[in-house]
Structure 1
Amino acid sequence: MISYNPKGWTAFVFRFHKADTFRQLSPLLIAIAAYAAAIAYLELEYWDLPDESHVKNISMMHGILGFVISLLLVFRTNTAYDRWWEGRKLWGSLVNNSRNLALKLNAIVEDEKDRAFFRKIIPVYASILDKHLKDEETSKQLAENITLPNDPHTHRPNQVAKMLFIKINELYKHQKITGDQLIILNNELQSFTDICGACERIKNTPIPYSYSAFLKKFIFFYVMTLPFGYVFNLGYFVIPVVVFIFYVLASLELIAEEIEEPFGLDANDLPTTKIAENIKKHIEEII
């Protein structure tokens, strides 16, 4: 995730980074410019269409469809941002729940071996969930004397959660915690799995294909027909105008694509790895 000063206008305008949409769209922008130049030449020089030509009225269509495409892009951007923000709230809940569990265990558990176990295993859940959402390989050796099953197809966050549940149940069986304390701790442990499931829902449920495909086609044909009508009023200036319009519309779609799946490695994705590291730091301070 990119750290920045939201009040720095100059930095926004003149700063380019690897995820900037202009870099990604450069080949298409050049192609659009060449296409607009070809249409302008044909209409102005080769076909020599008169001002009263019906082709000039094509711009009326763009005025009508401009409102429609703006609504579609607003809905698309808002939907993508909602997914990004929901992911951030889920990881914020994971931070709080990890702290709450550690605080309660610190007050309840007295045996140093048990405390050391929780000191290691609670941060591991966040780290494993981070790698799970990014489809990265995880080590079987989580910590000293703590290993995961050998089966690579097992759900790793569930395995870590199972270790936590087993350990809490052992404490109860050995009467190191009471039944009331078991119920209190159970709520915190259950929240881990709830957060994992919600994150997986975001990751595994993309925007419907038909909607995404239709929007891209709409933008493409909208921009491809722009030079035909506006060349009468703008002449060859239609080239930069069409390129700029395409840049704005396509950039909104690219931004939405990037943030709708917030658990990847893109520049604007959530800093889940850093959040997991902070959880580890906080848990070690508490227990």
Structure 2
Amino acid sequence: MVQYNPKDWIVFIFRFHKSDTFRKLIPMMLFIGAYTGGVGYLELEYWKLSQKNHLSNIPVMHSMLGFVISLLLVFRTNTAYDRWWEGRKLWGALVNNSRNLAMKLSVILKEEHDRAYFRKLIPGYASILSKHLTDVETSLQLYEGIDLDNHKHRPNQVAKMMYQKITDLHEQKKITGDQLIILNAELQSFTDICGACERIKNTPIPYSYSAFIKKFIFFYIMTLPFGYVFSLGYYAIPVVIFIFYVLASLELIAEEIEDPFGFDANDLPIEKISANIKKHVEEII
């Protein structure tokens, strides 16, 4: 995830980061510029059309559709940001729940080997969940000696190991029934968070909606030069390129943040959050 100062306007304006949409859109912008120049040459130089031609009225259509496309893009970006922010809230909840479970166990457990077990498994769950969400394949020997079957659901295996340990401690009379209930509620929240993250990961924006927006932007941009060249001449080239840059950038940003679990520049720093959980749990237990 990109770390930045939101108040530093000069850096935003004049520095191009690798995550900027400008770099990704350069080939298409060059094509749009050449296409607009070609349309302008045909209409103004080759066919010598006048402003009385009906093609000069095409901007009327664009003014009507501009409002529609703006609404679609606003909804698109808001939906994508909601998914990104929900993912951040879920991982924030995982941080808090890991701390709460660690604090309760640090008080309840008296023997060092029991405390060491959870000192390894609580941050291990966060680390394995981050690998699970980013589709990182791992070996059977995964996280500091935690044995997992790579062909089964890995976070569930770690949660089951913690449940089993809590149950064994209860049977050994090391924790009471009331403490068992409290700890079970904390462990259940881990699985709830995992399921919510998987819902975001495995349920993308419906294909028809995403495809329609892309087609809408494409045909909207491709028809702009036919009317703009009558009023702007060849100055329509930078104008059309800029309009394409704005509209396409909004769609690219929405595509990137709608799946917040990955390695893109704007994805959530779940590996860093996992490392912080490990650090805090080791401090508590």
TM score, norm. by length of structure 1: 0.98
2:159 is the counterpart of 1:157: no
Identify unmatched segments of 5+ residues in structure 2: none
**What is the CA-CA distance between 1:196 and the residue it aligns to?**
0.3
Gaps of 5+ in 1: none
Q: Which residue of structure 2 aligns with residue 283 of structure 1?
A: 281
Give the share of equivalent positions with the same residue, in percent. 74
Q: 1:224 to 1:278 in 2, by over 3 A?
A: same
Pairing of 1:3-18 with structure 2 (within 5 A): 3-18=3-18
TM-superposed CA distance for 1:145, in Å, is: 5.4
CA drift of 1:107 comes to: 0.6
Give matches, 1:262-273, under 5 Å. 262-273=260-271
The structural deviation recorded for 1:132 is: 0.3
What are the superposed Cα offsets for residues 203-234 of structure 1, whole Å, 9 maximum, x if unpaired? 00000000000000000000000000111110
Asked if 1:260 is matched to 2:258, the reply is yes
Shift of 1:142: 4.3
Q: CA deviation at 1:144?
A: 5.7
Shift of 1:141: 2.5
Structure 2 CA distance for aligned equivalents of residues 172 and 164 of structure 1: 12
Check if 1:78 corresponds to 2:78: yes
Quote the residue 1:220 is aligned against: 218
What letter is aligned with 1:65? L
Write out aligned runs for 1:37-48 (5 A). Answer: 37-48=37-48
1:198 pairs with 196, 199, 204, which one?
A: 196
Residues 123, 280 of structure 1: 8 Å contact kept? yes
Runs of 4+ in 1 over 2 A off after TM superposition: 138-146
CA RMSD across the alignment: 0.9
Distance 1:116 1:26 in 2: 53
Give 1:143 deviation, angstroms. Answer: 5.2
Q: Shift in Å at residue 246 of structure 1?
A: 0.2
- 1:144–1:31 CA distance, 2 compared to 1 (3 A): closer
Q: What is the Cα deviation at residue 139 of structure 1?
A: 3.6
Q: 1:91 to 1:46 in 2, by over 3 A?
A: same
Once the two structures are superposed, residues 116-170 of structure 1 have per-residue CA deviations (whole angstroms, 9 ceiling, x without a partner) of 0000110000000000000002242345653123xx3200000000000000000
Counterpart-to-counterpart distance in 2, 1:285 and 1:146: 20
In structure 2, what is the Cα distance between the partners aligned to 1:215 and 1:45?
34
TM-score, normalization by structure 2: 0.98
